[in-house]
Amino acid sequence: MRTVAILSLLSAMTALAFAAPIQGDIFERDGSAEFDADLCPVKKRQVDGLGPAAQSPGPACAQTKAGLPPFFVETPDISEGCLNLRIARPQGTAAGDRLPVIVHIVEGGVIKGWAYDPHADPEPLVTLSAEVGKLIIYAAEQKSLNVGMRDQRAGIQWVKDNIAAFGGDPERITAWGLSAGGTMASLQLVACGGEKGVPFTQVWTMSGPPGTALNISSDATEIHTLAVASKLGCSHEKDERMLECLRDVLMNDLLEAAMGYSVENHPPMGLFTFIPSVDGISSAIAHIPMILGWTQNDGATQVRPGSLFKDEEDMKKPIQSFAHALTNEDYKKFFALYSASDFEQQVTNYNARREESDPEVPSTGSASRSSCEISYLSAPPLTLVTKWPGSPNLNQTMLPPLFKSVGMPYLGVPHGSDMNYIMNGVFPEIPEIPDPDKKLTNAMAGAFIQLAYTGSPVYDDGSDNGFAAWPPTFPVGADDGPLLGGPLGLGLPPRML
């Protein structure tokens, strides 16, 4: 494949197909006429030399086109023929260079994700890797609703099988994702019954707990699928007949029905409705190095405006989006664990910086955000942190001006704050990044590159391009992991309390 130089330090390949296009009603991933019942069917397709590169971005998979600022722009083109990759590498990279590879699963809210979204621009990260002398190759894979995680597995497997032809090292592949992308990356560790391993060597996932936040151990996906089938006149007592009917529905009609139902289920955007579901029980897991990070107020954006919470009934509503089967007795036990005084400091911190035009937020509003954070990032995901000695808790953000402009100045360090830093300052909504944020950007992006290059996030060369130490997660006598940024972090100026 011929590379197309688009930047002085970057060459890029776009719309690289990693699986066969639709053949009638199905995708042929294993070369057969029927989709294999195996959990991870992958047709190995080797690259024989580098032919012409696509000259424009490939389409996104079926999803709502509307943008979700400050995380996604409007998606210009969607198609069922969307199984393509975006690859970026330093200019001059050749086969045999064996550079480490980062595979970015671009997805958020389980509703959007396009590999060419400017929020996932690889230029700053790949350029920094050249500047610090630790070159990397970046590959982006986008959200898929065709067969979900199986599509993702096929894409990552394609990278492992073929990246050497692009100068990459198939034995040094770091999977990376934020939010739903992080969830999908980490869920791959237990996919296929956890018994087939994974086509990557380590994983860094931010704000993407592997399962609990998405309620995957419940019957949620089945309930939602049956509801959409009913809306489209496809209800049937036999699943095979219902699936056959849904496959006959045009993509745009199916998308309109599914997203319309999703918005009704989880307003205003329809997040977390059609999610992975548990289709087998196994104690096996792919044991590879993993970093699982989160932000200080990760669940805060998953609730309604804080001023609307008056009592415990209001507090139940956002939690139900993540755990719909909880009973009143469950809530009683849950709320009994946290007294109102536990949230007074949050209210005090907010009031200290609140301007006259900002809304008042009662302690129940802070309690609800905290409760949602607990349900969003509860203990079970941490069982997957098998080898890394530490996982970061981000306590700094660039997002407050944007959330303040829409009436939510109380969010603290919300979900998604980490993306701007780890991608080395990618933030299309603001013209200039403040100096304190530039410093943390250098540290996080540098640690990310160091991880991909050496297998460790520690970068002890006296520069700002990484962290000189990586404290343990939940050490004896401590209640939390290391903070990155903010007044309790690594000596960096606080952005939010």
Express each pLDDT in 100-116 by its tens digit: 999 999 988 888 999 99
Residue 27: Cβ-neighbour burial (10 angstroms; 0-12, 13-18, 19+): buried
Dist CA 18 CA 373 (whole Å): 36
Domain ranges of the chain: 1-213+280-298+383-497, 220-265, 309-376
The DSSP string of 111-168 is TB--TT-GGG--HHHHHHHHHTT---EEEEEE---SSTHHHHHHHHHHHHHHGGGGTE
Structure tokens at 302: 């998953």
pLDDT bin (cut points 50, 70, 90) of residue 265 is confident
Structure tokens at 296: 């200080």
Dist CA 201 CA 455 (whole Å): 9
- Looking at residue 497, what is its pLDDT? 27
Sign of the CA dihedral 203, 208, 213, 219? negative
pTM score:
0.82
Q: What is the residue-averaged pLDDT of the chain? A: 74
Does the structure show a pLDDT above 60 at 245? yes
- Per-residue pLDDT of 114-173, as tens digits, reads 999 999 999 899 988 888 888 889 988 877 654 678 888 888 999 999 999 999 999 999
- Per-residue pLDDT of 345-395, as tens digits, reads 777 777 777 888 888 776 555 555 555 555 444 433 323 333 334 455 677
- Looking at residue 7, what is its pLDDT? 32
Dist CA 246 CA 26 (whole Å): 13
| 450/368: higher pLDDT | 450
Does the structure show a pLDDT above 70 at 195? yes
In the predicted model, what is the mean pLDDT of residues 198-224?
A: 77
Does the structure show a pLDDT above 70 at 32? no
Residue 10 one-letter amino acid: L
Residue 398 one-letter amino acid: M
As a whole-number percent, the residues of the chain with pLDDT over 70 amount to 70
- Provide the residue count of the chain: 497
- Looking at residue 205, what is its pLDDT? 86
**Residue range 1-213+280-298+383-497, CATH number:** 3.40.50.1820
Does the structure show a pLDDT above 50 at 262? yes
